[in-house]
Chain A
Amino acid sequence: MKRKFAYYPLNNSSFLLILTLAGSASMPFETAQALDWYDGRVQLHGFFTQGVVYTTHNNFYGNTQDRIGLDFREIGLNVSLQPFSRLRLSAQGTSRWAGKMDQGEPWLDYALADFTLFNDEERRIGIRLGRIKNIFGLYTETRDVASTRPGVILPQPIYFDRSRKFALSGDGVHLYGEFEVPGGNLDVRLMAADLPLNDQSSKTTLTGSLNTPGHLDQDRMTPGVRIIYETDNKRWRGGFTYLSLSQRYRPAQYDAMAGRQVLIEPWIISLQYSGEQLTLTSEFSQRYSEFIYREAIPKQKITSQNWYVQAQYRFLPSWELLLRYDDSIDNIDDPDGKDYAATHPSAFAHNRFSRDWVTGLRYDVTSSFMLRAEFHHVDGTNWLSRLDNPDPSKLERRWDMLMFLASFWF
């Protein structure tokens, strides 16, 4: 059965114009629903998001210092098919613009076959094969879908945008199980996936250099596990994630960067309370990294620590207030970065941490169109991309950011 469906032209300038008109709230917005056929066995969903970024210092998602940056856009379309009750096929293509980190390249976000192996009232066990969204914390799976995010951007300490590609999805296999346990349900996922690492943004982040003509190869598939417990009434949700990435930098023929092996092992604890109006969320994560250069040089070991606390308050049915504090330190043995600055002549201590106070407002114009405004007061620069800020000496320690966003989804 076909449904009414408001659509927007894909042409960027007219898309922007429509969003601007919508921002003035004078345009009647038709509620769009998903497109589905054959009793929901074929479904089409998608989203368009346009953001606006202004920073007092430093660049985030494009050239935004003292200017209004429009270089933040997210588009996605997904299709799912269910030929048999036990088998679902689904795929999503996305395109994202975020300064020099993402420049609109079409990206196959996931393409998977989901097979139910066992199914009764208390348990479901299944397997997914193909390109699958990574499991990491509460938000990674839908991090590019603005309506599912708690704010304009996710808390950067845990959901780093500068090295986002390898956090998105991987090619491999996921085993999943959902079990009824006393007081609630347990959602268990096990993954083994090959993660894409060779985009410039990830290479720059993992190697620390802008000039990396070589390749990052995975030593092995990345194993991961996520366990989430949710109470019966869905008020409380809490869980644990662990991943272990091991990769090797293979220098090109003429390469200033030496070969190295990089091991990254993040874990994260998540806890969320969802009431009718109030949602409280906190996640705490540590990431153990090991850099192995040559046998003669001792291993470099660093543990970084990232966390946030966040409150969302829906004070009216269509209005939501956001308050968040997030905190990131690159090295728990050197939280204020002073040792690093003292031992690296061209480095600055504030490039090793960030503390961000965030306040924001969400207005749901319809059930499929929303507007957002958000203010960040940041101390530190460690989650800024070097691609947008090529000269680290020009980074200002304290900076503010104002963001606006309009998003449509169906």
Chain B
Amino acid sequence: MIELPQLGDDERARYEWQMWTSGHGEEGQRKLKQTSVLISRIGGLGGTVAYYLAAAGIGRLVLAHAGNVKPSDLNRQLLMTTDWLGKARVESAARRLQELNPFVEIETVAENLSNENAKRLVGCADIVVDAAPLFAERFAMNSAAFRQGKPIIESAMYDFDAQLTTMIPGQTACLACLVPENPPQWRREFPVFGAVSGTIAAMAALEVIKLVAGFGETLAGTMCLANLRTMEFRRIAIQRDPNCRVCGGQEPNAS
């Protein structure tokens, strides 16, 4: 069994208040320090997940997002700043995250997830967070993660609607069970307030923290649906598709 990394005095001081959390403590904090998380796109959703995971003391973040900061990013992408317009998003994010917490190791990849790089990028992390806007990227990550047995936090929003679930290979449905085909009506640009993507991002970060530290209850096997226009939240059970092209709905421990 791999021994958990130790915390230094500066880290204990930094995480003191969250180590008071029931079920977490110093052991949970050391588990967070041991964990690496890949985040696919660091926009309003993924960037805020990264920010909360950095604040919480995750050991290593791998940030994948192509392109440069645009003015239209700044209403929600809290890791981007006005003085960084026209420069690489991942570098802006790394700078902001290191300012917040220099104990977190940051790896930047100025690419979006694709069938070409998904295997390699998913292989860099223990857990993956999907915050990408395009289904092609999400399907590539889903396939790679299920093949490698890596849990995925699936987070998405549109306007004031949000969806969040945790998918665990061998235990729960995968993305392809729920969305068998690339939705033809989906548009890459969508209406969004930063506070909406930020709300679901904070919940996604909590899914990672609970999954790693082992306390509380995650959304595994269920999906949280939120309508933030009316403040209605519901949780539904999600079923595996026995004919799923990716996970085949296999039972846990199936050969």
- Report if A and B associate in a common complex: no
- What is the interface of chain B, defined by CB distance below 8 A to chain A? none
